[in-house]
């Protein structure tokens, strides 16, 4: 597929007469910026013919806070709390990508304990994010019960974060050189209890929502994204894997202690919304599997290998590091000019931005109601698109 | 594996490496009429089960359970300066917290101590309205003078009431004060400071009505 770059005004040309026997006319409808499925502020301009979508024009930028620019005025430790605010459902992975890139550039060697705790926490966060996604998908498609059930379980994972870190959402936990706090003595037993609680619950989710014929009919064979197109569009994460491409950064380019644990890359076959749904459902089980393998033998060692107040200066150069968040590949690019402890330029390659543009490819031809399923199955977090 | 999907585990080569994959095959169940009913009934049975077992409900009645609310030790809400049993704080006004703060929510004003001859803390101003609660100040403090407390009900009608002065007195840290045996001299070194003392962010002329504090004498300050 080829991609042509056009401006918004070019895209919003006067509507043309559609070639339909009813001599209908195409018209534009603004979906958003305030719309329940946006989960934030995202404007989607739809070119419609009747109820059929002809063209989708996403207009991001309503939650733009200039995080990349703000990073240029902050040292590498101060960047971490800003990254919490990008993809707030994968806050720990966002922390990790900056910490990882800075550690790579500055040559800081972390120990096995730090990396293990980072991996466990990230997997719990992925679990929490997918649990929330499941409920929100149900809510988008009209099943409010699912939303309440998912929030119940999300809070239980949130309590573990609250006890260990002190915050539920914007955690600022993974920092260059280590972690903010060491884990508490009862962390291991609590996580085990949590996993024992969650494993049967995923079957409960299946009973509540997956078996529902209305949901299945709204997801199956809707919004089919081909694997090659997904690669061309730069989609990553469950969206790409549901199209049958087994690209998972945790396997392809292992970081943390992912090379020591045993887990499967979950892929779909067709690439429709129903595959994206089930890939995430199975990823929850894989996350539980990863945490189970790591939680029993945590290595000993300090939780922070650098002094907090020491200046972190990176040598002159360009650095890029990436991690797999709950939504795909998040990359951090740092251009350091060698003097001062702030980056000269900072860029984030955020997964949601690329996943968003998949709608321009897969939504045309479907109805508005199908668009809800498509965007909900992409699991977009708007502050991460805009940064 | 559940009854709605089949998981096929196999090894495939991707990028020249063998990758263990779990291929998800969602089963085509909704197309059959009995299965449609079965799916709906199962969902309803689950919710009915919770309806009949109210002890499994996890809802917490927030304003009613205020007395029994317990927070984890590390819960981050309100920044406070630790004052020990004698009322001394440990802040030496080194300004490391001010430097560590990502968005300038902390301002440490120092003064030249007349008796001690060194820089000492005059006012520790914390703007809660712009604070991220990122814990950087607590991590940066080499003396452990700060901590995050659990008070989270901080809603006010006037934004200026979110600018706090954290120290209860202007003066040297606890280490210096404890070394001074003379009580009268020690009292002279500690100048009281109110909770809302200090420069106000929006309108310098108007102090919030709530803060009826003692007017502190004019002093030389260095920001």
CB spacing of B102 vs A309 below 8 angstroms: no
Chain A residue with minimal CA distance to B141?
A309
Nearest residue to A179 (alpha-carbon basis) of A125, A123, A116, A124: A116
CB spacing of A266 vs B135 below 8 angstroms: no
Say yes or no: B212 contacts chain A, CB-CB below 8 A. no
Pairing of strands A43-49, A178-179: unpaired
CA distance A152 to A237: 25
CA distance A246 to chain B (A): 7
CB spacing of A247 vs B47 below 8 angstroms: no
CA distance A297 to A78: 32
Nearest to A246 among B21, B73, B142 (CB): B21
Nearest residue to B88 (alpha-carbon basis) of B171, B181, B149: B171
CB spacing of A208 vs B17 below 8 angstroms: no
CA atoms within 13 A on the CB side of A275: 27
Instruction: Going from the first residue of chain A to its last (387 residues), give the mean pLDDT of each consecutive group of 10, the final group possibly shorter.
Output: 65 57 75 82 86 87 89 88 89 92 89 91 92 90 86 89 89 89 89 88 81 81 87 90 88 87 88 88 89 88 85 88 91 88 89 89 87 89 88
Provide the 3-class DSSP secondary structure of residue B131: coil
CA distance A308 to A78: 11
Superfamily of domain covering A76-386 = Cytochrome-c3 Hydrogenase, chain B (1.10.645.10)
CA distance B74 to chain A (A): 5
For B:139-198, CB contacts with A below 8 A are 139-140, 142, 148
Provide the 3-class DSSP secondary structure of residue A295: helix
Say yes or no: B21 contacts chain A, CB-CB below 8 A. yes
Cα A251 to the chain's mean position, in Å?
Answer: 17
Nearest residue to A374 (alpha-carbon basis) of A91, A126, A64, A44: A44
CA distance A98 to chain B (A): 15
For A:193-232, CB contacts with B below 8 A are 203-204, 206-213, 216-217, 220
ipTM over 0.90: no
For chain A, the structural domain boundaries read 76-386
pLDDT band at B202 (very low <50, low <70, confident <90, very high): very low
Please tell me the predicted confidence (pLDDT) of residue A126: 92
For chain B, the structural domain boundaries read 5-56, 78-192
Q: Tell me the per-residue pLDDT of A251-282, one tens digit each, with 9 for 90 and over.
A: 888 888 888 888 888 888 888 888 888 889 88
* Residue B5 scores a pLDDT above 70: no
Which of the residues B8, B18, B27, B30 would you substitute to probe the A interface, choosing the one with the greatest number of A C-beta atoms within 10 Å?
B30
CB spacing of A166 vs B5 below 8 angstroms: no
CB spacing of A209 vs B132 below 8 angstroms: no
CATH of domain B78-192: 3.30.70.3270
Chain A residue with minimal CA distance to B37?
A213
Q: Tell me the per-residue pLDDT of A193-248, one tens digit each, with 9 for 90 and over.
A: 988 888 888 888 877 887 777 888 888 888 888 888 889 888 998 999 888 888 88
Is A29 exposed, middle or buried, given 0-12, 13-18 or 19+ CB atoms closer than 10 A? exposed
Peptide bond before A33: cis, by omega within 30 degrees of 0?
Answer: yes
Nearest to B23 among A77, A251, A267 (CB): A267
Kindly report the backbone phi and psi dihedral angles of residue B164, in degrees, each rounded to the nearest multiple of 5, phi listed first: -110, 150
CA distance A137 to A210: 11
């Amino acid at each position: 597929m080829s991609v042509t770059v056009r401006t918004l005004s070019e895209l919003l040309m006067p509507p043309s007469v559609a070639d339909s026997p009813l001599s209908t006319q195409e018209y534009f409808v603004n979906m958003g910026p305030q719309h329940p499925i946006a989960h934030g502020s995202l404007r989607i301009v739809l070119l419609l013919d009747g109820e059929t979508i002809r063209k989708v024009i996403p207009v991001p930028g309503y939650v733009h806070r200039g995080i990349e620019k703000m990073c240029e005025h902050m040292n590498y430790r101060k960047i971490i709390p800003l990254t919490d605010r990008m993809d707030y459902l994968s806050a720990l992975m966002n922390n990790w990508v900056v910490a990882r890139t800075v550690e790579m550039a500055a040559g800081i060697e972390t120990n096995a304990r730090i990396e293990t705790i980072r991996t466990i926490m990230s997997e719990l966060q992925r679990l929490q994010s997918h649990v929330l996604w499941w409920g929100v998908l149900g809510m988008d498609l009209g099943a409010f019960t699912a939303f309440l059930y998912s929030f119940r379980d999300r809070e239980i994972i949130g309590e573990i974060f609250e006890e260990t870190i002190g915050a539920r959402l914007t955690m600022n936990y993974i920092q260059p050189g280590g972690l903010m706090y060491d884990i508490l003595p009862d962390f291991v037993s609590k996580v085990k209890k949590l996993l024992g609680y969650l494993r049967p619950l995923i079957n409960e989710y299946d009973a509540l929502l997956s078996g529902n014929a209305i949901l299945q009919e709204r997801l199956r064979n809707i919004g089919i994204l081909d694997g090659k197109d997904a690669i061309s569009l730069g989609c990553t994460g469950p969206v790409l894997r549901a199209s049958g491409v087994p690209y998972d950064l945790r396997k392809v380019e292992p970081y943390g202690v992912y090379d020591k644990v045993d887990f499967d890359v979950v892929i779909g076959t067709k690439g429709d919304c129903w595959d994206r749904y089930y890939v995430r459902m199975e990823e929850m089980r894989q996350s539980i599997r990863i945490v189970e393998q790591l939680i029993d033998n945590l290595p000993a060692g300090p939780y922070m290998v650098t002094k907090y107040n020491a200046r972190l200066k990176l040598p002159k150069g360009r650095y890029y590091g990436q991690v797999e968040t709950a939504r795909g590949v998040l990359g951090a690019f740092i251009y350091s000019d060698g003097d001062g402890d702030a980056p000269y330029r900072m860029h984030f390659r955020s997964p949601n931005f690329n996943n968003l543009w998949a709608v321009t490819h897969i939504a045309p031809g479907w109805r508005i109601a199908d668009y809800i399923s498509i965007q909900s199955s992409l699991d977009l977090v708007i502050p991460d698109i805009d940064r | 594996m559940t009854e709605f999907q089949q998981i096929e585990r196999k090894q495939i080569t991707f990028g020249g490496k063998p990758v263990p994959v779990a291929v998800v095959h969602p089963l085509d169940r909704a197309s059959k009429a009995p299965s449609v009913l079965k799916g709906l009934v199962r969902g309803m049975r689950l919710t009915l089960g919770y309806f009949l077992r109210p002890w499994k409900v996890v809802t917490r009645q927030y304003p009613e359970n205020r007395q029994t609310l317990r927070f984890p030790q590390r819960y981050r809400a309100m920044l406070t300066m630790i004052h020990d049993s004698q009322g001394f704080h440990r802040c030496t006004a080194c300004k490391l917290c001010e430097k560590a703060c990502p968005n300038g929510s902390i301002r440490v004003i120092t003064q030249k101590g007349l008796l001690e001859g060194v820089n000492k803390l005059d006012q520790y101003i914390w703007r809660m309205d712009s604070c991220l609660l990122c814990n950087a100040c607590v991590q940066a403090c080499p003396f452990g003078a700060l901590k995050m407390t659990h008070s989270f009900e901080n809603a006010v009608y006037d934004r200026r009431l979110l600018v706090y002065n954290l120290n209860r007195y202007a003066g040297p840290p606890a280490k210096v004060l404890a070394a001074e045996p003379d009580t009268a001299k020690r009292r002279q070194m500690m100048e009281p400071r109110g909770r809302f003392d200090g420069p106000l962010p929006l309108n310098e002329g108007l102090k919030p009505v709530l803060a009826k504090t003692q007017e502190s004498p004019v002093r030389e300050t260095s920001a």
